[in-house]
Homo-oligomer: A and B are copies of this chain.
Amino acid sequence: MSMVDPILFYFDFTSPYSYLASEKIDALAEQYGRKVQWRPILLGGVFKALGTVSLVKQPGQADYSVKDFARSARFLGLPYAQPAEFPVSTVAPARAWYWLHGQDCALARRFAHEVFRAYFVDGLNIADAAVVLELAQKVGADGTALEQGMSDPAIKDRLRAETDAAVAAGVFGAPWIVVDGEPFWGADRLPQIERWLETGGY
């Protein structure tokens, strides 16, 4: 694989560690002359396919997880407020992302940051399609066209196909970041990713 291949970044908009990684991954990649391909997926679909549950729903882990989300954000210097509704369905923002990405990659990137921050900083309910449309318009999208696009069967299929492909590629959680074929799970692997980019593998 060429050393200038893009980094793959699988994420779910309701995943706190995905939010943390989303704030760091592009700048990290850029330091090493790399681009990042963002790939929203539905973690619910991944867990269903594997027969697993999220860490936060494992018995005994909820309190620690919520503490660690906020603490990890502070550690990384990022704002964070635990959403009242958590986790939520991210079908609406993920479909919107794929439609926007088909129109304009840079717009999709701005939208993704807007959605993550709306949920994890401002506490908006990103499961709500009306909220999603408003966030998209805020970053420059055509709301009417996006609303139609989100209900396009091709967009619905795309999100399902991306989630299935992620499972087939070995993804079992998020964020899931792949550098030259090497998979890294979790925002806490950012230092290892940096080392990998520096050294070409260790």
Q: Evaluate contact between A59 and B64: CB separation under 8 angstroms.
A: no
A6 interface residue per 8 A CB criterion: no
Residue interface mask A172-202, B partner, CB < 8 A = 1: 1000000000010110110110010000001
Q: Is A68 an interface residue (CB 8 A)?
A: yes
Partner of A72, one of B58, B72, B192: B192
Count copies of this chain in the complex. 2
- Asked if A170 and B60 sit within 8 Å, CB to CB, the answer is yes
> For chain A, which range describes its interface: under 10, 10 to 19, 20 to 34, or 35 or more residues?
20 to 34
Alpha-carbon distance between A58 and B49 when the two chains are bound, in angstroms: 13
- B185 A68 Cβ-Cβ under 8 A: yes
B188 touches A63 (CB 8 A): no
**Complex Cα–Cα for A63 and B52 (A):** 16
> Which residues of B lie under 8 Å from residue A172 when comparing CB positions?
58-61, 64
**Does A50 count as interface, using CB distance less than 8 angstroms?**
yes
Question: Once the chains bind, are B192 and A189 in contact (CB under 8 Å)?
Answer: no
A residues lining the B interface (CB < 8 Å): 50-52, 58-61, 63-64, 67-68, 71-72, 74-75, 167, 170, 172, 183, 185-186, 188-189, 191-192, 195, 202
5 closest A-B pairs by CB: A60-B172, A188-B188, A50-B59, A50-B60, A75-B192
